[in-house]
Structure 1
């Protein structure tokens, strides 16, 4: 019997405990359902998180496994196991498939908003909403941080003005990011190497406060077109919006769109999206300009960084003591301690 299938790029989480035969959408939910303690950390998996070489199908806990992207969880006489869950190519052009996805969101009966950045992916969705006559009814939320090289307020506002879109700018600075890091980590249930996912949590909470129930976003385009199945970002985004009771609706992750895009050659430069953007009269900077990274800048984690606790944790896991000299290392170890403590994991594996 098929218990559940994880989408090809891991947007939906699915974890399970082979020994107890239980499964859930999150580790904490699984622990509560199975009625067992968290148990020991998975040292090899944790080392993979810290090095960037994630182990597919593993979590921070030894006896909690993750269904890899594109796999199905099967319940049989032998217990729980995973198998391939191949999809079928979908006919239709990209513009039509994306428009259909947006139409479903608009007809969901929920209060809908768009997460608008200054980049190509969300700009395409806004242009398609304009084609559907919805850009003045669906509020475009713009997250303004005021941080150099990490604030796309001006570019997003310029685009929204061009599209005659209804806009709301929400402002969060470094103190807001730092304050939200613990609850963000508790939701994603894994170490993070950068604070960028915190932006998703802040955006989702701001939408929820306004009564937004469904958020359209450009998430997933990069992963699908690069064939990146690492699941190191998309499931985090989904979980963070879900924690705020806002349904995240990224058309680029819709099954029909994914099956269409994966039936053609990988397109890491997103040429297919650039061509669509040109047809929709997007600004040349989006159609022809270089892609820009969106990692958050280094922030002061002094109030959260427990160096003594981190050294003790590294020792208990028999891992090299971190120097904590780089932002990446500080974020990884801080979020690792938050994760294990939140899940109640013992930190002295046998």
Structure 2
């Protein structure tokens, strides 16, 4: 019997405890469910899984805790009738159905608008959210949906000017969310405790800060361009999308990414991979998006290095590495610093830090 299915690109989180038959979106939720059922879940860490996070060789289905597993993307979670306390997983086929892409994107946006909740659009300076804003204009909703723009003031990592230009182009209302390096560092612990896995860059913290700003304003549904890159590339690594979902869930804002709508995914899956997102560029050209978006190169966006020493000093991280049986980190790159610092915060948040020392 299927008790849950994880979508093809891992937007929805689904964790389980194979031995006791409980499951929940989060690792913490699984641990709580095991305890509620009278069990005593182990907080023993999964060193192989952690090594995978640190080396960018993630192990699908594993988490930082040995006894808690993640349902891999595009898999179903099953309960065996003969062994009701035992859970297993099996691959679930991806639905493929050609459609008209602008039509199914508009339908997804319309469902968000018809949900009876306050809706906002997370607007960056990029193609994906710009296309959604243009489609909202087609629906006559561009003045009703406020565009939230994150302004960091950090070189090469500030969405303010390109996003404001887009908002002006489509006559949209705007809310600027200011976030400094200090804001990012202060939000890192609660970000990591929510996503329950180490990060290799601080970019997900931007999602947390944006989600918190929306929640503070009473926004209930956040439309975002998340997922377009992953679906077009067929990237099932799930190293970003489930984090986004968890961060908005944590502040009770429903994350609504039209590019991950079932009908949109089914259509895009019927086409060859399109990592340059040419099909979106073609639609954007018809919708009068700026030439830099429909013809220019894709611009990647990662957060710049920040000072994380106040969250975990080098001696602490070296001690953790020894406890894990791993070489002493060199910290030669920002990636290493972020990975080891956030690993420390994850284990601490799950109550597993003590057992790893």
TM range (shorter): over 0.9
Is residue 100 of structure 1 aligned with residue 104 of structure 2? no
Query: Which segment drifts farther, 312-321 or 169-178?
Result: 312-321
- Cα shift readout 1:172-198 (whole Å, capped 9, x = no counterpart): 010000000000000000000100000
Cα contact 2:348–2:354 (8 A) shared by 1: no
Q: Distance in 2 between matches of 1:16 and 1:293?
A: 34
Q: 1:239-278 maps to which residues of 2 (within 5 A)? A: 239-278=246-285
Aligned residue for 2:191, secondary structure, equals: helix
Cα contact 2:320–2:356 (8 A) shared by 1: no
Cα contact 1:241–1:248 (8 A) shared by 2: yes
Task: Give 1:81's aligned residue.
Answer: 88
The structure 1 residue matched to 2:293, chosen from 282, 286, 290, is: 286
Cα contact 1:313–1:347 (8 A) shared by 2: no
The structure 1 residue matched to 2:302, chosen from 288, 295, 306, is: 295
Task: Give 2:65's aligned residue.
Answer: 61
Is residue 205 of structure 1 aligned with residue 212 of structure 2? yes
Aligned-pair distance for 1:334? 0.7
Is residue 122 of structure 1 aligned with residue 129 of structure 2? yes
- Give the alignment's TM-score, normalised by structure 2: 0.96
**Count of residue pairs the alignment pairs up:** 350
Aligned-pair distance for 1:8? 0.3
Aligned residue for 2:3, secondary structure, equals: strand
Q: Distance in 2 between matches of 1:228 and 1:178?
A: 29
Task: Give 1:159's aligned residue.
Answer: 166
Distance verdict in 2 for CA 1:168–1:305, change over 3 Å: same
Aligned-pair distance for 1:312? 1.5
Cα contact 1:4–1:74 (8 A) shared by 2: yes
Q: Distance in 2 between matches of 1:5 and 1:132?
A: 32
Aligned-pair distance for 1:38? 4.2
Q: 1:180-199 maps to which residues of 2 (within 5 A)? A: 180-199=187-206
Query: Which segment drifts farther, 85-94 or 116-125?
Result: 85-94
Task: Give 2:52's aligned residue.
Answer: 48
Cα contact 2:195–2:243 (8 A) shared by 1: yes
Query: Which segment drifts farther, 320-329 or 6-15?
Result: 320-329
Cα contact 2:284–2:294 (8 A) shared by 1: yes
Q: Distance in 2 between matches of 1:316 and 1:20?
A: 28
TM-align CA RMSD: 1.2
Aligned-pair distance for 1:305? 2.6
Aligned-pair distance for 1:347? 5.5
Q: Distance in 2 between matches of 1:161 and 1:20?
A: 54
Q: Distance in 2 between matches of 1:180 and 1:122?
A: 24
Ranges in structure 2 where 5+ consecutive residues have no aligned partner: none
Task: Give 1:238's aligned residue.
Answer: 245
Q: Distance in 1 between matches of 2:141 and 2:79?
A: 44
- Cα shift readout 1:55-111 (whole Å, capped 9, x = no counterpart): 011000111110000000000034211111113222321000000000000000110
- Cα shift readout 1:211-270 (whole Å, capped 9, x = no counterpart): 000000000000000000000000000000000110000000111101110111000000
Q: 1:8-47 maps to which residues of 2 (within 5 A)? A: 8-35=8-35, 36-47=40-51
Task: Give 1:149's aligned residue.
Answer: 156
Cα contact 1:40–1:346 (8 A) shared by 2: no
Aligned-pair distance for 1:344? 1.1
Cα contact 1:38–1:345 (8 A) shared by 2: no
Task: Give 1:169's aligned residue.
Answer: 176
Cα contact 1:41–1:347 (8 A) shared by 2: no
